[in-house]
Structure 1
Amino acid sequence: MEKRGYQDVNHLVIERCKSGEHRAQYELYKLYAKAMFNVSMRITNDYAEAEDVLQEAFVSAFKNLHSYKAEASFGSWLKKIVVNAAINAIRKRRAELVPMDERLVAGVPDEKSDDEPEWQIEQVRRAIQKLPDGYRLVLSLYLLEGYDHAEIGEILGISESTSKSQYSRARKKLLEIMKEPQFAG
C-alpha cells in the first residue's frame, strides 16, 4: 500500500491529522479505506460488520494517532488496529475457536499435494466464507494477512501450536468444501 512516493505525502497528511485537521483525516481515510475494508471483510465475513469495523478502526486510529511513531508504515499500524477491531467484532458474536487436540498438529503438510486440483480465486473466496469463524480467522490471518503462528497466538490469546492446528484443520475443511459439487468447475 505505501510506496516510497506515498511515504512523504502520508507523513504530511498524518501530521495534519495530528493537528486536528478534518480534511486531512478524510484524505487518510480515502487512501486506506478500501484496503482496510478488505482486511476487515476477510476476517468478519459480513459486509455490514466489516463496514462497522472499518469505521471503529479509523476512529480509534485518529484518537491514537499521537502514538504512531513511524517505526512501521502507517498502513501496517492501521492494519493492526483493523485486525484487532475485526477480531473483537467476532468475539462479540461469541464465536469460539474449535477445541483443538494439539497432538493433531504434527504431520499435517502445508504444501499443496500433486493430487489437489487447481481452483479459481472466486471459488476459493466463496469456500473461505463458508468456514466456521475460528477456522476462517486463523486462515485469514495466516494466509491473507501474513501473520505467523506466534503472532496469531498472541493476537487471539491462544498458543502457537493451537494456531497451527486451527490452520491445518481450516485447510482440511476448506478442501472438503472445495470438493462439494457447487464449487467444482
Structure 2
Amino acid sequence: MFQIELVEQCKANNRKAQVKLYRQYCDGMYCVAMRFLKNEDDAEDVLQESFVKAFQKIHQFKGEVTFGAWLKRIVINKSLDFLKSKHEKMVELDETYMQVAEDDDWTIDDGVSVDEVLSEIEGLPEKYKHVVQLFLVEGYDHSEISQILNLTENTCRTRLLRGKGHLRESLKKKNYGTGS
C-alpha cells in the first residue's frame, strides 16, 4: 500500500491504517525523541503523545512534505515541550541586537568520532544545544529552526555560531586535554 493511500485511510479514521503507519514510523521517531530526551521512558511517552497528536491533526497534513518529515516535526516539538516543562524558567538574553558573522566551516579533527561530537553537543548550554542539534543532527535550516524554537532567524544564527564555538572548544579540550 502506498503511503498516500495509508495516510488517506488514517484521515478516514481507519484503525488498521493507523496501526500500520505507527509501526512504519515508531522506531525512527523513537530515535529522534531519544536524541533529545536521553531517557527511554520519557522518549516513549513523547512518542505516544506525538502519534496521538499526529492522528488527531492528520487532516492538516497536506502532503507538501513527506509524512515522515511532518511527523518528525511533531516529535521534535513534543520533545522540546517536554524538556521545557522539566526546567525552571530561565532569563533569556536578548540576542536580537547582535550581528551574526556567518561561519559555514563545520570541519573538526579527523580523530574525532561522531559519537564524541554527539556527546559534546549534549554538554552544550541548553540554548545552544537545541539549535546545534536541529541543524547538525536533524538537518533543519535556520528558517525551520527559528519556527520550531520560536526564535528570530538572527537569534538562531547567533546561537548556532556560538554553539559551534563551544562545541569546537570542548572537542579540543577533550582531545588535547587543554583549551588552547
Q: CA deviation at 1:138?
A: 0.5
Aligned-partner Cα distance in 1 for 2:116–2:96: 30
- The reply on whether 1:99 has 2:93 as its aligned counterpart is yes
When normalised by structure 1's length, the TM-score is: 0.80
CA pair 71-97 structure 1, distance change in 2 beyond 3 A: farther
Worse overlay, 16-25 or 102-111: 102-111
Q: What is the percentage of aligned positions where both structures have the same residue?
A: 33
Question: 1:1-29 CA deviation, whole Å, 9 max, x = no partner?
Answer: xxxxxxx5212222332333323222111
- The code of the aligned residue for 1:106 comes to V
Contact 1:105 1:164 in 2 (8 A): no
SS in 1 for 2:2: helix
Correspondences of 1:133-152 after superposition (within 5 Å): 133-152=126-145
Q: Is the 8 A contact 2:100 2:154 kept in 1?
A: no
- Give unpaired runs (5+ residues) of structure 1: 1-7
Q: CA RMSD in A?
A: 2.5
Change (3 A) 1:117 1:106: same
Aligned to 2:60: 67
Matched, 1:38 2:34: no
Q: 1:22 to 1:104 in 2, by over 3 A?
A: same
1:117 and 2:109 equivalent? yes
Aligned to 1:20: 13
1:117 match: secondary structure: coil
1:171 to 129, 150, 164: 164
Identify if the C-alpha distance between structure 1 residues 47 and 137 changes in structure 2 by more than 3 Å, giving closer, same or farther. farther
Residues 30 and 159 of structure 1: CA distance in aligned 2, closer, same or farther (over 3 Å): same
Retained in 2: the 8 A contact 1:97–1:134?
A: no
- Does the aligned pair in 1 maintain the 2:96–2:152 contact within 8 Å? no
Gaps of 5+ in 2: none
Aligned length: 174
